[in-house]
Structure 1
Amino acid sequence: MKQNENGTWVSWNENLTYKYKSLYKVTSEEELQEVVKKSEKIRVFGSKQSSADIASGVETLIDITSYNKILTVDDSACTITVQSGLILGDLLEEIEAKGWCIPCLPDINTVTIGGALATGTHGTSGKLLSEYITKCSIVLADGSVKIITDKDELIYAVRVSLGVLGVLSEITFQCEPIYTLHVKEGPEDDKVWLPKINERLKKHDFLRILWLPHTNKGYVITGDKIDPNTEIKEDLGPAFLKHRRTASKILYKYTHIFPWFTAIANKLLYIGFFSSKKEHKGSLYQATVTKSRGSTLELAEWTIGLDKFPTVFEELKTEINKWNNKSFIHIPMDIRFVYKDTSWLSYAYKKDTVTMGCVSRNAATADTYEAFKTIEKIFLKHGGKPHWAKRFAAKNTELSKIYEKWEDFKILRRKLDPTNKFLNPYLTELFNEKTNN
């Protein structure tokens, strides 16, 4: 176990910085227990890619990224057990080598397993990543280890916990046989793709829509399971498509000063990078997951019931098309679909949901990015929920109205962590625990 003293913690996009007194790099569950037990206040971080202020802000930190071993693989049960600091991409490559998959994956592979689970990371056309946990161990505030299986009631709270119930240690995932997707991509008018959502969810195994504000267009991505030997005519589009990130950076560079220019930039980016069709095949991981992400982003994401999404979408579109506000949104807005589950702080608790991402390409000026405020106001109005790892302003008062099990979670949190060891200032305010220090 390594210990550093008196340093500065900096988030991936440099938007958050905090001083700390002690930072530990742990490599075993025993070391994790030791640090948690002796610390008065502690937070755990991995790849630091959260836009929410949940990973630091206290005197003692644990860097979990060296706690990253694949522990066991059970061929008969099709399960794999890993340490929580493992990077998601390393897990996915291991299970693909076994001929397995986890059937719903996020769009990025550089996050740690523990962080992804704690914040409700999800993919599309499936459930949260945490729903595939069959067993896990968690280091509690007193340093003891508690084993939880998918037969225990506690699993419903632990699957999405923001790291405030304890520190996820070892996790067992249920995998499934790998499959091949035939993926088709291309633009469609809003009036075409919006009414087809339910039809497409039934028809396709994979559905994702990249909405392009100020263009009246969406970029629709569908995937259908096929025999891996099926031949398709692959078309990955023009070679210059790989430069979209660079072009976006240039076109959006001064939009914090001239927000209206975003509408022009979006039209140019649509013409250059979203107007052509693509077709390819591959596993879910190879065909749909991004293998890198620029650090100049700031992200928000909101979810709403599938039945309410058309209403919310039309209201949002109407609002951002008004030239008398400053909510000019960088493209794309990522629309994905998460099926209902029973995890207390899941976005999809008891209902099928639609998630809608909102991105600022200028992370340093995100505080003045009006789009974050606009999307939050509209989604909250309709009972929408924020993504835990992304940017939002809602706190206890608003969250208690939209999460049915919010108060139950808070009661459990106090029981498992009576001294608030796992709360930082942001989480203290989020759960309204200011008077319970």
Structure 2
Amino acid sequence: MFCYVVTTSGIPEEPISCTVTDCTVTNSYGAFPDRSICKAAIASYPGTEQELIHVVASATKARAKMKVATLYSHSIPKLVCPDGDEGWPVSTKKLTRVLGSGVTLKQLINAAADAGLALPYSPYWSGLTVGSMLGTGAHGSSLWGDGSSVHDYVVRVRVVSPGSADDGYVKVRDLDTTNNLTDLNAVRTNLGVLGVISQMTFKLQPIFKRSITYQSESDGELAERAVSFGHQHEFADITWYLSQGKAVYRVDDRVPSGTPGDGLFNFTGFRAQSSHLLEHLRSIEERQEAQESADGKCVSATITTLALITTAFGLTNINDTFFTGYPVIGYQNRLQSSSSCLEGQGGKTCAWDPRVKGEYFFQTTFSVPLTKVKSFIQDVQRLVKLVPKSMCGMDLYLGILMRYVKASNSLLGKEEDVIDFDMTYYRSKDPMKPRLFEDVYEEIEQMGIFKYGGLPHWGKNRNVAFIEAFDKYSKGKEFLKIKERYDPLGLFSCEWTGQVLGLKDGLTKDEDGCALEGLCVCSKHTHCAPTQGYYCKPGRMNIFV
């Protein structure tokens, strides 16, 4: 069922902010899906493994709830929020020695390159920490080798967890591929409920070069081509602009290291922008929403898409500045990931920095098995034909990014080869204000999650995406047994992780307007906005068949 019709910038603020009385924990967007404020009593910043062990032991002895918070905290759900006001967030900001969990992906990539090595696959955003990538199952795009999930290249970890009094209230476990492999597979996607990862070792490869070409075509054959495209090119992905009937295929493969080229990928959307420009663009979109101007959004989407495609999405092949044509050839460390907006360039910042009036959005991201991708895409195409201007708002935010992810042995990883559909779209500052074409977006979300059994990305999404999600994992019960062994008191668990792991109720709400923010699937009109013309009705497609 759906609901129808004083500014500072630069280097991002830390997710933990403390006063003399308490602390507040948030994410890099400044808001959780339910807009709640996360409070805690105290925060710790261990800089060494020994300091981390002491913090975990002290908190365990006090039976204090703990959650790990990373340098920037880019997860959208409440993974970093400990229960109650007496929680104890543990920051990994200073835990950067010996490849600790606080090391960022960018630092890992650069350190590997200095040694002539490369992480073969990674997320496109390099501001993540290595600990958070294991917490949420972060990935790039590939069906080749061991796949694009970073956790599948982790071969050794050390985990610091609560212990008994006999253990000194802390237990340190060393896991690798020959020692406790099942436990390692639990840690590889752990939601932060097993403890703190203090050290890890990655399986790297000799550094190599890639050749990238973006090909823009009609989406008429997308449903068929998407299934095979990931097998044809090692780093393939697809960007789908539904309102324009266009698909941009990333033809991306390794080439001999002697191939000329020193290209760079500094993705346009991850570059620092001036606060004035961000405020101007947000004001335009808010006005379009207020006026229900689908035509206005379509014009903006066309301009944005043209600019991205013309500038090769941020690829350059001369002096890290100019794009002169395809293919763009360069070393892996310069093409695989970017996050230049984090560098604090003058008065510029990341587009979603909550300190400025910039982007404020939802992200719906789920993985559909390759065997079901064709039917899902065809369903979405049929829906969009019924409401052709509805997807202009999504095309403003890069359309739908489609990334390939291979089946993994991680207990909470992908269980078969999938395509990850990543959708970003407007969110109102007013939680009771419906969005333009909200019903269409919700129908796509519910088709992917419920009809096609999509797995939600652990680090993104609105609450509705996690409804019965844990039941889709055949090794879920095995994960819970390991969780009970590592943290029997549940000190690293919180209300949110309990809900998504099926251990607690409360994932969704039954209150006025809950469907507008993805806090419920509507079952009555008051879940939507009846006074504003949005009622709870069946969708245009029969999604539950």
TM-score normalised according to structure 2 size: 0.70
How far apart in 2 are the matches of 1:218 and 1:10?
A: 35
SS in 2 for 1:115: helix
The correspondence for 1:406, drawn from 463, 472, 476, is 476
Report the AA paired with residue 221 of structure 1: R
Alignment of 1:347-358 (within 5 A): 348-349=414-415, 351-358=416-423
Distance in 2, Cα, partners of 1:169 & 1:429: 26
Corresponding residue for residue 486 of structure 2: 416
In 1, the alpha carbon distance for the partners of 2:444 and 2:334 equals 31
Question: Out of 405, 408, 421, which is 1:341 matched to?
Answer: 408
Deviation at 1:13, TM superposition (A): 1.0
Deviation at 1:62, TM superposition (A): 0.9
In structure 2, give the amino acid aligned to 1:218.
Answer: A
Q: What residue ranges of structure 2 are gaps of 5+ in the alignment?
A: 1-17, 164-169, 313-324, 341-349, 353-358, 506-545
Alpha-carbon offset, residue 281 of structure 1: 1.2
Distance 1:41 1:228 in 2: 50
Say whether 1:162 aligns with 2:191. Answer: yes
Q: How far apart, CA to CA, are the structure 1 residues paired with 2:197 and 2:262?
A: 44
> Deviation digits for residues 360-413 of structure 1, max 9, x if unmatched?
255746885536633331112211100000013248761243211122222322
Q: Which is further off, 215-224 or 10-19?
A: 10-19
1:137 aligns with 2:158: yes
Q: Who is 2:88 aligned against? A: 60
Match of 1:92 among 76, 96, 109: 109
In the superposition, relative to structure 1, how do residues 175 and 84 fare at CA in structure 2: closer, same or farther (>3 Å)?
A: same
- Give the match for residue 8 of structure 1: 24
- Please tell me the residue identity of whatever aligns with 1:294: A
1:208/1:364 Cα in 2 relative to 1: closer, same or farther (>3 Å)? farther
The change in CA–CA distance for 1:324 and 1:159 in structure 2 (over 3 A counts) is: same
Q: Secondary structure in 2 aligned to 1:96?
A: helix
CA offsets, 1:50-79, max 9 Å, x none?
Answer: 11111124321111111012x2xxxxxxxx
State how many pairs are aligned. 419
1:413 is paired with a residue of what secondary structure? helix
Is it true that 1:283 corresponds to 2:331 in the alignment? yes
Matched, 1:120 2:190: no
Please say which structure displays the higher CA radius of gyration.
2
The aligned counterpart of 1:79 is: none
Partner residue in 1 for 2:251: 222
Could you say which residue in structure 1 is the equivalent of 2:211? 182
* Contact preservation (8 Å) 1:253, 1:362: no
**Distance apart, 1:321 and its partner CA:** 4.6
Q: Aligned to 1:308, what secondary structure does the other structure show?
A: helix
Would the aligned equivalents of 1:208 and 1:336 in 2 still touch at CA under 8 Å? yes
Structure 1 residues 154-202: Cα deviation after superposition (integer angstroms, max 9, x where no partner)? 1121110101112111010010111101110131111244433344333
Query: Where does 1:375-386 land on structure 2 (aligned, <5 Å)?
Result: 375-380=444-449, 381-386=451-456
The offset of 1:43, in angstroms, is 0.4
Paired residues of 1:212 and 1:331 also in contact (CA < 8 A): no
- Say which structure, 1 or 2, has more relative contact order (CA 8 Å, 6+ apart): 2
Whether the 8 Å CA contact 1:42–1:62 is kept in 2: the answer is yes
1:124–1:206 contact (8 Å) kept in structure 2? yes
Shift in CA distance, 337/136, structure 1 to aligned 2, threshold 3 Å: same
Q: Structure 1 residues 262 and 414, CA, compared in 2 at 3 Å: closer, same or farther?
A: farther
More strand by share: 1
User: Matched residues in 2 for 1:401 and 1:285: separation?
Assistant: 37
Deviations 1:82-129 (A, max 9, x none): 101111100100001111111111010011110111100000013310
Q: CA 1:33/1:259 → structure 2, altered by over 3 Å: closer, same or farther? A: farther
Q: Is the 8 A contact 1:187 1:275 kept in 2?
A: no
The worse-fitting range, judged by mean Cα deviation, of 24-33 and 274-283 is 274-283
> Partner of 1:265 in structure 2?
300
Q: Which runs of 5+ in 1 are unaligned?
A: 72-81
Kept in 2, the 8 Å contact 1:107–1:288? The answer is yes
CA-CA distance at 1:248 after TM superposition: 6.2
Stretch of structure 1 that moved more, 39-48 or 222-231: 222-231
Q: Does 1:308 align with 2:308?
A: no
Counterpart of 1:201 (choices 221, 226, 230) is 230
Q: Render the CA deviation track for 1:262-308: whole Å, top value 9, x for unaligned.
A: 34432332233336765211123312422245323542211011121
Q: Which amino acid is the alignment partner of residue 213 of structure 1?
A: L
The 4+ residue runs of structure 1 with deviation greater than 4 A are: 232-236, 239-251, 275-278, 324-328, 361-369, 394-397
**Paired residues of 1:298 and 1:363 also in contact (CA < 8 A):** no
What's the % identity of the aligned pairs?
19
TM-score normalised over the length of structure 1:
0.86
**Inter-CA distance 231–284: structure 2 relative to 1 (3 Å threshold):** closer
Give the 3-state SS of the residue equivalent to 2:489 in structure 1: coil
Distance 1:416 1:200 in 2: 41
> CA separation of 1:392/1:24 partners in 2, compared to 1, >3 Å: closer, same or farther?
same
| Paired letter, 2:201 | T
In structure 2, give the amino acid aligned to 1:36: V
- CA, structure 1 residues 397+374, in 2 after alignment: closer, same or farther (shift >3 Å)? closer
C-alpha offsets along residues 228-271 of structure 1, whole Å, 9 cap, x if unaligned?
332469899xx999899969656534454337343443233223
- 2:285 corresponds to which of 252, 271, 286: 252
Q: How much is the aligned-residue C-alpha RMSD, in angstroms?
A: 3.2
For the residues of structure 2 that align with 1:36 and 1:379, how far apart are their CA atoms?
Answer: 39
